[in-house]
């Protein structure tokens, strides 16, 4: 699968990229919303892991863009804020919600759910 990982925390990006590449996926990365949006406009992705809290464009704003333009990318919202509910995330455009710190088994479960 082609996966985009977006987070301003470089250690999280590195962890997710390493894990997903080991599972055989192609992974692109971005450290902010603007760079992520450019990649989304340039390349097809199956899944985008999007940090909710980034300067500039948030993960939620990117998920809304994906939904608005009917792109076939599954948006997985990453957040360190447990008060952000799963239902809120989905109504705002995200397909899934994942709390930080991330359980890599849950990451794999989500990726497997959307395998083409």
Compute the average pLDDT of residues 35-49: 96
Please report the pLDDT score of residue 53 as a whole number: 87
Q: Identify the CA nearest to 6 among candidates 51, 67, 66, 45.
A: 51
pLDDT-based confidence at residue 92 (cuts at 50, 70, 90) = low
CA distances from 59 to 23, 24, 99, 116 (A): 24, 25, 13, 23
Taking the model in full, what pTM does it have? 0.92
């Amino acid at each position: 699968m082609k996966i985009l990982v977006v987070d301003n925390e470089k250690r999280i990006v590195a962890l997710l990229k390493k894990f997903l590449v080991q599972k055989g996926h192609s992974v692109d990365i971005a450290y902010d919303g603007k760079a992520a949006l450019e990649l989304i406009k340039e390349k097809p992705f199956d899944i985008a892991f999007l940090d909710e809290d980034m300067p500039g464009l948030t993960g939620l704003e990117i998920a809304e863009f994906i939904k608005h333009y009917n792109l076939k990318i599954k948006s997985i919202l990453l957040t360190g804020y447990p008060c952000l509910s799963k239902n809120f995330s989905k109504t705002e455009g995200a397909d899934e919600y994942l709390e930080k710190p991330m359980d890599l088994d849950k990451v794999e479960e989500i990726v497997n759910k959307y395998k083409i």
